[in-house]
Amino acid sequence: MIVKRLHVIDATATLFRAYFGMAKIQAPDGREVGGLLGFGQTLARFVREVGPQHVSLVFDGPEKTFRHDIFPDYKANRPAPPEDMEHQFGLAIEVAKALGFPCFHAEGFEADDLMATMAKRANEANIETVLITPDKDVHQVIAPGIYVMDPKSFQLIDEAAVEKRFGIRPQFLVDFLALAGDSTDNVPGVRGVGPKSATTLVAALGSVRDIYERLPEVAELPMRGAKSIAKKLAEQRDSAFLSLKLVRLREDVPLSDEMLNLKHLRYHGPKEDADALFDELGFHAPLRNLRSLVRLGD
C-alpha cells in the first residue's frame, strides 16, 4: 500500500537557526541576506536528504497570538530579533515560494498551532504527517501516523522516543510542561516543581486536571519533598491551569482547502521565474541545488 505522507516545516524556526548559524552576507543593494541564504540551503538539504512528495511551510504570524491575550508576558523574556533580521521574515516567504514551497500562516496563532491542526486533520484523512521542528512542545501531538523530525539529523521521533526522553507518553507532555514551566517561552508553571517532580506527578496521577482531583495523594508519592510539592500545587493552582492553556497546542486553527490538498502540496521544484528574486538577493545556490535535485528525480 502506498502511504500518503505530508511533511510540514516550521519555517520561522528554520529562519532563526539559519540567521544565527550563517556569516553576514549582503545583497547587491546592501541588505543583510545571510539568514535567507541559510534558510534556502536548509530547504535544499531537506529535499536532498528526505525526498518529500508533499510539503508545506508554516510561519508564525507577525501579530500577537491568543496566548498574549491570556498572558501578556508570554515570551516576554525573549529579545527582539536583530535589526538586520527583521526584513528577512517577509523575504523568507518570497524565497520559499520561489523555491516551490507552499507557505501558510494564520492570524493569532503560532506555527506550532498550524502544525498541530494540520497533523490532526491529515491523520483523520489517513495521511501520515511528519512535523519538522526543533520545538519540544510539538512532541505533544505525536501519535500513530504523526511524527516529529529532527531538523538537523532528519531522524524521526515517535511515541517510544518521547517516552524514553521524558518518561511519559506524548499526550502527557503538555501536562509536564504546565507543571515544570518552560523558560524558553516564559511559561510560569508551578514554582518549586522541577522536571523530575513533574515527571513523577504525571506518571503517577495523569493529567494536570487528574493531579488536582487527586491532590491529597501527592504528599504520599515516593519523591523528594512530596508534602512540600503538594502544598505548592495547592497554592499555585491558577498558575498551573494558565500554563496548561499556554503550552497546549491548538488543533482547531481555521485551514483553507489548499492547506491539506495533496495535489496543491506536491513538491515540483522551484518556479521557472525564480531567477529574478535571487538575482536581487545576490545568491543562487539554493535555486541551483533544488533545480539539480528535481532534474535528478525526473
The H-assigned helical ranges of the chain are 11-21, 34-50, 66-70, 83-98, 111-124, 159-166, 173-180, 195-205, 208-213, 215-218, 226-235, 237-247, 262-265, 275-281, 285-297
What does the pLDDT look like over 148-207, one tens digit per residue? 999 999 999 999 999 999 999 999 999 999 999 999 999 999 999 999 999 999 999 999
The model's pLDDT over 205-254, given as tens digits with 9 standing for 90+, comes to: 999 999 999 999 999 999 999 999 999 999 999 999 999 999 999 999 99
| Neighbour count for residue 85 (Cβ, 10 Å) | 17
**55 - beta bridge partners?**
7
State percent of the chain over pLDDT 70.
98
For the entire predicted model, the pTM comes to 0.94
For residues 83 and 5, what is the distance between their CA atoms, to the nearest angstrom? 38
Q: Which amino acid is at 7?
A: H
Of the pLDDT bands very low, low, confident and very high (cuts 50, 70, 90), residue 257 is confident
Residue 298 has pLDDT above 60, yes or no: no
**How do residues 30-67 score in pLDDT, each as one tens digit?**
999 999 999 999 999 999 999 999 999 999 988 889 99
Distance from C-alpha of 57 to C-alpha of 13, rounded to nearest angstrom = 11
pLDDT tens string 270-292:
999 999 999 999 999 999 999 99
Q: Binning pLDDT at 50, 70 and 90, where does residue 2 land?
A: low
Residue 128 — very low, low, confident or very high, per pLDDT cuts 50/70/90? very high
DSSP state of 137: G
- Average pLDDT over every residue of 257-268: 92
Query: For residue 61, what pLDDT is reported?
Result: 84
Domains of the chain: 5-159+251-289 (3.40.50.1010), 166-247 (1.10.150.20)
